[in-house]
């Protein structure tokens, strides 16, 4: 991706969206927006409990507790399944490898359409979520070296497991934007933006935080 292509992407997608568990904003504000692995480090989760959360599919939310930091929730991975991953993984990756790749990052959608598609999916439509809206250009400027882009929803294998491998998450400079521009509408040329380890100072980039149920905002948190 050239600098001109990146500028076009940021014009088309000026806001990034991150979905967190209801009630998570206070903790995110205090500790930053952390990847699952970074959160487990901070909460000092080790051994079997960590392996279950970090290296395998989470069919339900995982709650972790710390005597000083309190309670945190690691979101489920219902849209993923091992059978689908075994069908679509490339580069000799295993499902465990893929879960570890996902858990090393925090993810943002680049379009409202993608956000609403997740929030209105059957497992989530009746639940409430904290949704962070983030200034895309500011985040990219600050975290460019840690950002990777993906042309697919890397956290889903349903309804169809799209091929994925080590080149699914590419640095900005390596992303084939021209290829996807010729095939997709604005807003779909990059599906996910992820940041390795997380964004400890995410509040600097936040434009708005709302509680959402389905595609409706029910409360303004910031």
Per domain, the residue ranges of the chain are 3-217
Burial (0-12, 13-18, 19+ Cβ within 10 Å), 163: exposed
Residue 189 has pLDDT above 90, yes or no: yes
CA distances from 108 to 83, 115, 149 (A): 25, 9, 10
For residue 51, what are the contacts with CB-CB under 8 A and spacing of at least 6?
A: none
Global pTM reads 0.97
- Tens digit of each residue's pLDDT (9 = 90 or more) over 47-82: 999 999 999 999 999 999 999 999 999 999 999 999
Burial (0-12, 13-18, 19+ Cβ within 10 Å), 92: exposed
Strands (E), 29-69: 33-34, 62-66
Helix (H, G, I), strand (E, B) or coil at 198: strand
Backbone angles phi, psi at 120, to 5 degrees: -100, 0
Residue 159 has pLDDT above 90, yes or no: no
Q: 158: which DSSP letter?
A: S
**CB count in 10 Å sphere of residue 174:** 11
Q: 75: which DSSP letter?
A: P
Task: Assign 20 a pLDDT band (cuts: 50, 70, 90).
Answer: very high
- The mean pLDDT of 88-113, rounded to a whole number, is 98
pLDDT at 8: 98
């Amino acid at each position: 991706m050239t600098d001109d292509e990146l500028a076009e992407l940021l014009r088309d997608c000026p806001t990034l969206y991150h979905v967190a568990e209801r009630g998570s904003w206070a903790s995110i504000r205090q500790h930053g927006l952390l990847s699952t692995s970074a959160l487990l480090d901070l909460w000092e989760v080790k051994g079997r409990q960590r392996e279950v959360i970090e290296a395998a599919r989470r069919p339900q939310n995982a709650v972790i507790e710390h005597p000083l930091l309190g309670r945190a929730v690691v979101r489920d991975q219902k849209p993923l399944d091992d059978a689908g991953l075994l069908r679509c993984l490339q580069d000799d990756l295993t499902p465990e490898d893929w879960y570890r790749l996902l858990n090393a990052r925090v993810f943002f959608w680049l379009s409202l359409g993608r956000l609403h598609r997740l929030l209105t999916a059957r497992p989530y439509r009746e639940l409430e979520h904290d949704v962070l809206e983030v200034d895309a250009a500011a985040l990219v400027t600050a975290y460019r070296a840690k950002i990777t882009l993906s042309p697919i929803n890397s956290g889903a294998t349903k309804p169809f497991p799209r091929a994925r491998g080590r080149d699914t998450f590419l640095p900005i400079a390596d992303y084939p934007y021209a290829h996807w521009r010729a095939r997709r509408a604005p807003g779909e040329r990059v599906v996910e933006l992820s940041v390795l380890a997380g964004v400890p100072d995410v509040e600097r980039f936040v434009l708005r935080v709302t509680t959402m149920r389905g595609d409706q905002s029910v409360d303004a948190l910031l």
